[in-house]
Chains A and B, each alone.
Chain A
Amino acid sequence: MTADTATRTGTEMEPAARKRTRTKGNQLAGYVFISPWLIGFLLLTLWPIAQSFYLSFTDYSLLEDPVWTGTNNYTKIFTDDSTFTKSLSVTFMFVLFSVPLKLFFSLMVALALNKNLRGMNLYRTAIYFPSLIGGSIAVAALWRNMFGIDGYINNVLAWFGIEGVGWISNPDTSLGTLILLNTWQFGSTMVIFLAGLKQVPQELYESASVDGAGKVRKFFSITLPLLSPVMFFNLVLGIIGSFQTFTSAFIITKGGPINSTYMYAMFLYEKAFKHYQMGYASALAWILLSIVALLTLLNFMASRYWVFYESDGGKTK
């Protein structure tokens, strides 16, 4: 661009100069415009992250000043806290089951909804609806009633000769009930899949048909590869989100019975705001962050082998 302006004659210099001052103005304007976010980021994200890291090496009850205790919190967590081990394994189980289930389920539904049928909007609305309200405390209350020992689920099961249990009050089934609730709220994942499906060019299917490919073949050779970036997006965010599940465990099961649904986020919450062990809770938060970061990193590394980016024309990143 500078070479371009240099060749121009004097009369044409003016707009170029004006453009230069405009970019300078842009510099400042850019920061003016992003300042709300930037201030918020520094104040409510970056500073708290640093503070939390520091606090994780201290004893802090909110009433007195933090006392530096070195790596005590971490040592205690890893060697002498059976609740930590329990809640971490509960959370891993939850993530391990609910993420793939939700992905599979929402993909299947998205495929079913990606058709040209009259009244499709109605179906979409109906199927999306549970997800709209799913995370609320109201639904947690509903779930608690439905899956209680006297809930209607048991009554329905009795028709099929299955003897009901207290799904929530039984430690063998309580976590499964929460996983089911989580899967029921598959809507937003499904909407993202649906948007991804709309981007798949129809010509590909047509030419595949000409080549004699069947439905199954088309799904595995066209739909799935082209959908893999969306799948990846949903997988990464799904894992991160599931690690932080709180409301359902807090309201429906209260972490019980015998800690069978004591999710990590709830453990952390109680350490910090029930027992006021802010330092200990911060250490727990940093362990969570490390786990999530590590899993996300692994995900990105693995994505090279299965995520297909069309623009690169192959399975490279």
Chain B
Amino acid sequence: MTAIRSKLSNHLLLTAFSLLMLYPVIWWAGASLKKTEELSLPTLWPSTPMWENYSKGWNFSADYTFAHFFGNTLLMEVGNVIGGVATAAIVAYGFGRLSFKLRGFWFSILLLTMMLPGQVTVVPQYILFNKFGFTDSYVPLVLPHFFGGGAFFIFLLVQFIRGIPKDLDEAATIDGASVYGIFWRVILPLLKPALVTVAIFTFIWSWDDFFAQVLYLSSVDKFTVGLALRMFIDQFDIQWGQLLAMSLLSIFPSVIIFFFAQKHFVEGIATTGLKG
């Protein structure tokens, strides 16, 4: 009896807490359909839904619709995800399986870079990209992903690779496979679930990586969704209903990916992050 009771109270507590956490998001969905006067109310649904918040917001800029900004962002994302996934797997195999001189040293450096504040490198990086004429292009945003996709992902994959039994490598060696063959035929197929995690995180994080976008992109034609929203916010007289509608749309890609890949998300973190 007490067990059922405690279970029930647990459920009640968790439901209440979940709703509290989600309330701003739920309110957001309703608010995107509200008139400006109604936005100050905590009510969820508007008295008369203003669907034109969406159509007007979509066309808020005189020259481009949000379709253009979404296209830009997705284009950048394709590069980021491909670059991150491909090179992180390669680098992680090197650190996780091969022995070479100074491996420990380089790996410690890799871990150290995770703690380095980005502010230290941002000015010279900007100068460098500027020198090569890459400012106001996607190169400074995409190119860094092709250098291993970031220390965190490499670390994640190294942990994962270390969990793969070495017998598999040895068996392949006896069959005459080289280290490259082992990587391609043994490790890479097994790495797939972890690579999905890398792809998801890369996508979501670069979608939200506002700092780099605001730094490098200056012409409206190349703006990402985030920058378009910022342009929206900086208007003199903000149409809040429209802004909230477009903001809500802007999180959709991440949310969709999150729900489709939820299993991977949890599994990926559980099996890679902190094991060992």
Give the interface of A toward B (CB within 8 A). 22-23, 25-34, 36-41, 43-45, 47-49, 51-52, 55, 62, 109, 112-113, 115, 117, 119, 121-127, 129-130, 132-133, 135-139, 141-142, 144-146, 150-152, 154-156, 184, 191-192, 195-196, 198-199, 230, 236-237, 240, 243-244, 246-247, 250-251, 265, 268-269, 272-273, 278, 281-282, 284-286, 288-289, 292, 296
Take A152-B41, A192-B273, A273-B126 as given contacts and tell me if A30 and B251 are in contact as well, using a CB distance cutoff of 8 Å. Answer: no
B146 and A36 contacting across the interface, CB-CB below 8 Å:
yes
Residue of B nearest to A265 (CB): B119
User: Beyond A29-B100, A284-B119: 10 further Cβ-contacts under 8 Å?
Assistant: A25-B179, A33-B93, A121-B262, A137-B247, A142-B244, A152-B39, A198-B270, A246-B211, A247-B210, A288-B117
B208 and A288 contacting across the interface, CB-CB below 8 Å:
no
A33 and B120 contacting across the interface, CB-CB below 8 Å:
no
Please tell me which one of the listed residues A45, A133, A282 contacts residue B255 in the complex, with CB atoms under 8 A apart: A133
Q: State the main secondary structure of chain A at its contact with B.
A: helix
Q: State the main secondary structure of chain B at its contact with A.
A: helix
CA–CA, A122 and B270, complex, Å: 17
A to B contact number (C-beta, < 8 Å): 253
- Write the B209-227 contact mask toward A (1 if CB under 8 angstroms, else 0): 0110011000000000010
CA–CA, A210 and B21, complex, Å: 38
For B226, what are the chain A residues with a Cβ–Cβ distance below 8 Å? Answer: 136-138
The residues in B between 86 and 130 inclusive whose CB is less than 8 angstroms from any CB of A are 87, 90-91, 93-95, 98-101, 103, 106, 109-110, 113-128, 130
CA–CA, A133 and B114, complex, Å: 22
For B39, what are the chain A residues with a Cβ–Cβ distance below 8 Å? Answer: 145, 150-152
Take A27-B101, A136-B208, A285-B119 as given contacts and tell me if A34 and B233 are in contact as well, using a CB distance cutoff of 8 Å. Answer: no
Give the interface of B toward A (CB within 8 A). 7, 10-11, 13-15, 17-19, 21-22, 24-25, 27-28, 31, 39-42, 87, 90-91, 93-95, 98-101, 103, 106, 109-110, 113-128, 130, 144, 146-148, 154, 173, 178-180, 183, 204, 207-208, 210-211, 214-215, 226, 229-230, 232-233, 240, 243-244, 247-248, 250-251, 254-255, 258, 262, 266, 269-270, 273-274
CA–CA, A152 and B163, complex, Å: 50
CA–CA, A155 and B43, complex, Å: 10
